[in-house]
């Protein structure tokens, strides 16, 4: 499952983007030089492609993914604060239901 999801995500990334596994079922994607609308577009494509996965052994169950977007900018004072904002948005997406994209405030 992890391999299928990571391959699906990788298929939507540009040469300037980077994918990494944060642990468990969580991945991080750095979208290099992406305006907010481009980041949302890429996130939606990732969400749709992962939800379309057919993974052997799941007995027809569908895969879903929740995503968060957090922009790294001058007002973010550390990588830790940036990751915390992304994590809060991710939990917001998960609380809203399966298959959501949430943007950090």
Residue 63's domain is classified under what CATH number?
Answer: 3.30.70.270
Task: Kindly report each contact of residues 94-99 with a partner whose C-beta sits within 8 Å and lies 24 or more positions away, as own/partner.
Answer: 94/66, 98/64, 98/66, 99/47, 99/51, 99/64, 99/65, 99/66
Exposed/middle/buried for residue 22 (C-beta within 10 Å: 0-12, 13-18, 19+): exposed
Q: What is the pLDDT of residue 63?
A: 84
Q: What is the pLDDT of residue 18?
A: 94
Closest CA to 22 of 96, 101, 79, 83: 83
Decide if 35 is catalytic.
no
23 strand-pairing partners: 26
Q: Which of 12, 25, 26, 41 is catalytic?
A: 25
Number of domains in the chain: 1
Angle at which helices 36-51 and 2-10 cross, to 10°: 140
Least trusted range by pLDDT, from 6-10, 22-26, 56-60, 93-97: 56-60
Structure letter (DSSP) for residue 15: T
Domain span at residue 10 reads 2-103
Least trusted range by pLDDT, from 20-24, 34-38, 57-61, 76-80: 57-61
pTM of the model: 0.84
């Amino acid at each position: 499952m992890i391999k299928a999801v990571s391959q699906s995500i990788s298929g939507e990334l540009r040469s300037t983007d980077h994918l990494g596994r944060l642990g468990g079922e969580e991945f991080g994607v750095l979208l290099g030089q992406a305006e907010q609308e481009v980041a949302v577009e890429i996130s939606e494509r990732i969400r749709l492609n992962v939800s379309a996965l057919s993974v052997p052994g799941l007995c027809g169950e569908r895969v879903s993914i929740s995503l968060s977007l957090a922009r790294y900018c001058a007002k973010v004072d550390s990588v830790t604060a940036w990751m915390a904002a992304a994590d809060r948005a991710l939990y917001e997406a998960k609380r809203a239901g399966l298959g959501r994209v949430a943007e950090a405030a």
